[in-house]
Structures are given as structure tokens and as C-alpha cells.
Chain A
């Protein structure tokens, strides 16, 4: 036994709270520097605590790093090999994608995310940690860099095709950019025909034949690659944007041919596509081509230099897919506000709910936790702990959503078993609420805890307080904006705020101060009481007001028939 370490009997007594303060202080000093003793103590205190974070008996789940159509991706620790991995928990109980992933485990390519292990409904992969190509592209990358990354991704796709495998869901979200800036293609073959017979894939990137129901193959991967290539270069998908003019003709022809409706008209293989992709631009002026090459080189050099000292660039939090009816945001929300919200909603203190009646459904957003007040002396039975896990103590029973799906959770109290259906799903949209407020007024939304919130324009409306699951918004100035709330029970709530100008309709004036008022087209104007304000007609829809005495009144705007068009109250101070 290590001479300086705490005596194990002492630790056992500390764990039970049997050690007086003086001795505890000394123990604290040792625990402060000795991880082993601290962990021994924690293990004794935590005796019998249920471990909800293991998968496949060797992967300890850490933070959630992503959510895709096929399941959630977690950062994890492989406790056997002591390395950091990414573990994807599959949404469906289907062996098809997993058998493909097993084959993928044999492919090794610098631009392919290495698959380490495939188990019952999970895939353990190399942990990349970088942004997706989509996120990376959103940060205005130089053209040469975008081409380089797409070439690397194309290489990866070609290498996998050479092994006889198919990706089936190639898109910017499945390409990661690692710490060294290299493209890393992930999620190979996982979109294979799902257990229910439906064909996986993402419609926007699917080839026509795939959309028609044919299973994905190398030719449809080629199509998806070209949609992505177009998007990487044009910033929009084909049909929605134009390729920049400086794109070489060889790259243009790659895109054109790869996007052929008829699979036979596409390149015979990704290898063949890459040959054209890599052809230097042909030019009638060879010196120009050489100059262009130098330019490209210097651009990519500059890009490399730049990437070592990235300029911090903050953007407001925005909903991933703004709804078409969302009002345009005039001004960008201040980044500080967005951060503020992020921070607030990350705070601990979960809302502890009362369990709903047995037999009912408990919905959870992917990756979220919902806490309930546990009944006494409870044993927990989980039908499928892949989908949801239950952890907790005497105060709190946490339902932790691990991947999409539906399962049953039972709690046994005094020999009596009660069962709930637990659904982990993507947020369901709740019909938008339209709220009209005046500045300073507030509006509260009650939720079962939030895991995300965004406000279109936080200078119009902002969060003034949050207590438990109740979020209170306060109107700040006239305007329109919306707020999106993602709740832990898998709802996406939209609130559209319309903030009216102070004292709607009442024109605030001051004696001796001119005021321009915009109104509906009119012909004549009448002031009641007469003379309180003198009016000068500036145009069809505009008058200049000069208040003469303190008091209230109305302005009546009439058309040439003498019928009122508009009436505005005013107040002179």
C-alpha cells in the first residue's frame, strides 16, 4: 500500500460520513492531489449506482456530438483500448447497414473515417471532432480550399467504391473536416435499405433513379457527390444557384456529367470522374494557365496561412431551417445575446416533473434528459436501453434519450409494476402562436425544459427571465420577430411576436417641434380641435405637423369625396 495514500478503512468511513471535520480536512488535502483515492471514495459512495453510459460493454458514452437520420452520434471512450471514439447508436433494429459497416471496417483511407467496431445496433468509429463540410462551407472558404476538400472527399468515395462498397447518403453533413483541415467521409453504407424496406438517403442529394425507389449504387453516389460539389462551389444546390464564373471548364463538365438524369450518361466510375476533376484547366494561352496555377497555389497558401490564425467571427444563433413565414430579420441579433441564451439554457437545475399516469407516453427530444420525481422503492425495467436509459437517485429519476425509437419503461413499487411508453423523436412542430405585444409587455411560454432557443431579432423581443421550464419574453421595441423553442419533450414551438409602436395610433407631439407623419393617400386633412396643430401637406401620403398648444385631438384625413381615409389621435406635450 502506498504509504502516503489514505487508509482504505478511513475512506470507507468517510464514504459513510463517519469522519470528524479535523480528520476530513487532512483527507481533503490528500484527495486534492490523489485521483486514485478520490475515485475509491467516489466508488464507495456510489455503490450500487446504475451505470447508464455503457454500450457494447466497452464504450462509455460521453457528450452527444451529432444527430443524423440514422441515429445519434456520441463521443465515447473505448475502455478496452483506452481511446477516444465516436459511437453511433442506430435508430432501427436492422442488420443490413451494420453488415455493410462491418465491411467498411476493412477499408482504410486517409479521407475515410475509420470504422473500428460494429456491434448490436451500434458502430464505433474514429473520433474526428471537426465541423461538418456544411458548417465549414458556411464560413466562406476560399475557392481553392473548397476544391481541395471536395477532391479529398471524391478520393475517399472512389477508394470505397474500389472495395465494392457504396455510400448511399453522401452529402455535406457526412463529410467532416478534421483538425488538420482534411476532408473525412463518414457514415458509409449506413443508409442502406432499412429494415422496413424503405430506402434511406436524403432526397436533395438522391439521384433520380434512387428517388424512384432503386437502391443506391456507385452511380447514385456519383450524383450525390456532384450535388455536393455544386453546393460547395455555388453555395446553393443545383437549380437554385449559379456556379461562379471562375470555375474551370473541367470542373463544370464533371458536375454536368455527374448530374445526368440517366445513370449511364454519368462517368463509369468515381475514378474516371476524378481524372476529369483533376485535369488542369485547358487554355488557349498556356502562360495564362501557368499563371492561374500560380494564383491557385498562392491562394491555397494564403488559405493555409489564414487557417493558422482564424479571424474570430461570431454569428447570431439562427434556426437551422427558418420557416418561410418567419419574418425577415432586419437587424442581426447581437451575438452577446445569443451566447447569453446558450449559457442560460445549459445551466443545470433540471425541472423535476411528476410522472404522468402509467400507460401514457413520455416523449423526449433526441439527446435530452427529462427528470421525474421517482416513486419510493423503485426498480426500473427498460425494454430497450439502447433508446432510453434511466438513471437517478432518491430525488430524481432521469430518462436519458440515447437514440431515436420507441420503447417501454416499467417501474416497480411494492411489487406493482407500472409501464410507460417512451418515445425519442425529432422535435414535432407545434403550430406557431402569434402574439401581439406593446413594448415592455411580457409573454410567457411554459415548457418541459428547453435544450435550445433562438430569437430572430433579439432587439425586438428578448428573454427577460427563465424559471424552471417557463420562459418569459419581453417586448423591447416595435417590430416583428419570431422565437423558436426546442423543448426536452421533443416539441418545436414557434412564437411570432408583433410589437406595436408605443400607444398605437396616438401621435406624440411636442409644442414647437415639427413632426412628419406618414398616412394613407388622402386629399384633405381636418384637425380637431381646430388650430391645436397646424398642418402642411407635403405629399400624397405625408404631412408636416407643427403643434401649437398642449392637449389632445384628432387628425382626419379625407379623400376628394370628403370620405375619411384615416383618423389619427395626437397628443401634444
Chain B
């Protein structure tokens, strides 16, 4: 309980402990902010806010129970504050149509994109429904892979399973997404053959799936401001 005692000393105003907190725990957080693309001055400002939140009553550091390493907990606190400070109009503002315009060089031909644009809203809707039919874990695994760029190994660590298991979850999730999207497109739009395939291509491309998921996550969860307690983001 070394770290717990240390946290307590900081809250109690022990100058030596606070100096160590600044040096060893808080200043590395600047790199966290920089990696989240805050510029130098914004990072400094954020760090100042985090420090205040931790030490000034009601001191957040007081809530630390020592069930996780202090450095990891601090990183979580700081990341959460940074995310809430930023919001994400870029991602929230994406529309289904815009997403479908994203292409890689290896992506589908222009003609196919046109077709996709034409049915973009239906496709987005069909995708949304199919995505909702997955289990929460499948959805999370897909998001962690496509949006947060975690490797299968990292996802496996979270769920204490092995890499092959995660790989299975993800491929079965993708398969069932594909199956549902395919069926709905046949039923609703009456697409078939090559036209239908052109939509399924999107689901198989990591880039495009990420774009689709991004629109999903903005529907499911908007970052909520940190200080005012609110219900889950709608």
C-alpha cells in the first residue's frame, strides 16, 4: 500500500510528496496529451487542470483506493479529462455519405463508389441495425480493433483470453454483420450480384469498417463533460 500512503500524503499537502508527484507521475502525462494531439501549450494547460483536480478539494486523489497502479490510474484520469476537454466534432459530424467517400488507393472503383453513394443512407441504416444485433462484447472487440487500433494481443489481454479467441470473436462478428447486411440489402433495396458485392466489400475493408464504426460510436456515445454528472451519453 505504498502508493496509497503516498497519495494520502499528497492530499494532506506534504510538499515533498507533491514534488515527487509532479516529477514522477504528472510530467509524463504531457506525453499522453501530446499523443492525443494537443499542442504544447494546450498540454501544459491540461496538465495544470489535472493537477488541480487531483489536489484541490474535493481532491480526486483522495478517491484513489490503490487497487491499480497509481501511474495507470493517473493516466486514466488524465485521458478522460483530455477526451472531455476536446469533444470530437470531426467524428460526430461525419455523415454516412461522407464516410462512404473515404477510399484507399486499393479501394473499390469509382463506379462502385457512385453506387454506394446512391444507397448510402440505406446502407448506413442497414449497417447500424446489423451492428446492433451483435453482442456488446463483439461490438467492443470490433471497435477496439478498428477504431482504437489495438492488436488482437492487446484485446486478448483485456479479456484474459488468448489471441486466437479474440480473432474468432472478431471474424464471427464480421461474418454475422456481413450476413445481415447482405440479407437486408436484398430485401429492402433488391440489390443483387455485383451491386450487392460492392457493399459487402466495404465491410471487409478495415478502413471502411472503421469509418462505419466511427459513425456508430458517435451515435452510441458522445463524450460527456467531466465535471457535471450526467447519464450515459446518448
Contacts and interface: CB of A to CB of B under 8 A. Distances in A.
Interface in B199-226: 200-201, 204-207, 217-218, 220-224, 226
A343 B233 contact: no
Given A44-B72, A312-B114, A336-B194, A66 B105 contact: yes
Interface stretch (B16-24, B142-150, B180-188): B142-150
B1 to A, nearest CB: 14
A79 B232 contact: no
A64 B136 contact: no
A2 interface: yes
Given A4-B231, A15-B158, A346-B204, A36 B197 contact: no
A423 B188 CA distance: 48
B190 interface: no
Nearest to A65: B103
A38 B140 contact: yes
A494 interface: no
Contact of A39 (B148, B158, B207): B148
B75 A32 contact: no
A66 B115 CA distance: 20
B5 interface: no
Given A9-B64, A24-B159, A79 B118 contact: no
A158 interface: no
Interface string B139-182: 11001100011110110011110000000000000000000000
B73 A9 contact: yes
Nearest to A19: B160
Given A12-B76, A13-B68, A339-B112, A35 B222 contact: yes
Given A42-B144, A312-B195, A63 B229 contact: no
B110 to A, nearest CB: 5
Contacts of B194: 314, 334-336, 339
A47 interface: yes
B94 to A, nearest CB: 8
Contacts of B103: 63, 65
B233 to A, nearest CB: 6
Contacts of B2: none
B73 A12 contact: yes
Contacts of B222: 35
B143 A2 contact: no
Interface in A74-90: 75, 77, 79-80, 82-84
A298 B214 CA distance: 42
Contacts of A163: none
A14 interface: yes
Interface in B45-83: 60, 63-65, 67-69, 72-73, 75-77, 79-80, 83
A315 B111 contact: yes
A1 B226 contact: yes
A11 to B, nearest CB: 5
A42 B140 CA distance: 11
Contacts of B143: 38
A131 B103 CA distance: 11
Nearest to A13: B68
A106 to B, nearest CB: 24
B107 interface: yes
Given A40-B83, A343-B197, A451 B115 contact: no
B150 A45 contact: yes
Interface string B103-125: 11111111110110010000000
Contacts of A534: none
Contacts of A312: 111, 114-115, 118, 195
Contact of B105 (A49, A339, A451): A451
Nearest to A67: B105
A395 interface: yes
A34 to B, nearest CB: 5
A12 B69 contact: yes
A389 to B, nearest CB: 14
Contact of B148 (A3, A19, A38, A314): A38
Contacts of B232: 4, 30, 33-34
A176 B220 CA distance: 34
Nearest to B117: A310
Interface stretch (A52-60, A285-293, A457-465, A552-560): A52-60
A60 B136 contact: no
5 contacts: A32-B139, A62-B102, A129-B101, A334-B194, A367-B105
Ranked nearest first, the 3 interchain pairs of A and B with the lowest CB-CB distance are A42-B148, A12-B68, A79-B37
Given A64-B104, A346-B104, A346-B106, 17 more contacts: A1-B229, A5-B80, A12-B69, A13-B67, A15-B158, A21-B160, A32-B140, A37-B80, A38-B143, A42-B144, A42-B148, A44-B75, A84-B98, A129-B102, A312-B115, A313-B114, A317-B109
